[in-house]
Amino acid sequence: MKLFRQLLVAPAALGLMAPLSATAAEVNINGVANYSDSAEQVYQTTAQFSDVVPGDWAYTALQNLSDSYGCVDNSYTNNLKSGQALTRYEAAALVNACLEGGLMASGEGMTSEASRLANEFGSEMAILKGRVDGLEYRLKEINAKQFSASTLMSGNAVFSLGAVQGDANGEKVHSIYSYGIDLTTSYSGRDSLDASIIAGNAASEPLADLDSAENTTGNALTLNNLSYTFPAGNYEVTAFALGMESEDVVSATLSTYSDSFRISNLRFATEGAESGPGIGVTRYFDNNWNASIALIADDGESGTAGIATQGGDDVVTASVGYDSDNWGGGLLYTGGDDSGSIENYDVWALGFYWNPESIEGLGVSLSLEAEDNTTSNDNDAITLALDYEGWGPGTLSTAYQSVETNDQTLGTFEIYYNWEIADGIAVQPGFYTNEIDGDDDETGVVVETYFKF
Domain CATH number, residue 271: 2.40.160.10
What torsion do the CA atoms of 253, 258, 263, 267 make, to the nearest 10 degrees?
A: 10
Assess whether 97 and 163 both reside in one domain.
no
Assess whether 235 and 351 both reside in one domain.
yes
Write down the mean pLDDT value for the chain: 80
CA atoms within 13 A on the CB side of 288: 9
The parent domain of residue 58 ranges over: 3-144
Per-residue confidence (pLDDT) for residue 77, from 0 to 100: 73
**Nearest C-alpha neighbor of 314 from the set 371, 370, 275:** 275
Assess whether 285 and 379 both reside in one domain.
yes
Higher model confidence: residue 214 or residue 88?
214
Domain end, chosen from 120, 144, 168, is at 144
pLDDT value at 236 more than 90 = yes
Average pLDDT over residues 156-183: 89
Higher model confidence: residue 161 or residue 172?
161
Assess whether 61 and 182 both reside in one domain.
no
- Which of 46-55, 350-359, 399-408 is predicted least confidently? 46-55
Higher model confidence: residue 318 or residue 145?
318
Assess whether 95 and 221 both reside in one domain.
no
Per-residue confidence (pLDDT) for residue 135, from 0 to 100: 73
Domain end, chosen from 115, 144, 173, is at 144
Average pLDDT over residues 38-62: 60
Rounded to whole angstroms, the Cα distance separating 387 from 265 reads 13
Per-residue confidence (pLDDT) for residue 353, from 0 to 100: 98
Rounded to whole angstroms, the Cα distance separating 393 from 420 reads 8
pLDDT value at 168 more than 80 = no
pLDDT value at 394 more than 90 = yes
Assess whether 265 and 334 both reside in one domain.
yes
pLDDT in tens, 348-363: 999 999 999 999 999 9
Rounded to whole angstroms, the Cα distance separating 177 from 416 reads 18
Assess whether 343 and 445 both reside in one domain.
yes
Assess whether 131 and 165 both reside in one domain.
no
Amino acid at 335: G
Structural domain total, the chain: 2
Domain end, chosen from 144, 179, 210, is at 144
Assess whether 103 and 216 both reside in one domain.
no
The pTM assigned to this predicted structure is 0.67
pLDDT value at 186 more than 50 = yes
Confidence of residue 4 (pLDDT cuts 50, 70, 90): very low
Assess whether 123 and 219 both reside in one domain.
no
Rounded to whole angstroms, the Cα distance separating 255 from 275 reads 22
Average pLDDT over residues 283-299: 92
Assess whether 67 and 201 both reside in one domain.
no
- Which of 115-124, 212-221, 418-427 is predicted least confidently? 115-124
Assess whether 111 and 259 both reside in one domain.
no
Average pLDDT over residues 63-76: 69
Give CA 448 to chain center in angstroms.
21
Average pLDDT over residues 311-340: 86
Rounded to whole angstroms, the Cα distance separating 177 from 183 reads 21
Higher model confidence: residue 245 or residue 433?
433
pLDDT value at 211 more than 90 = yes
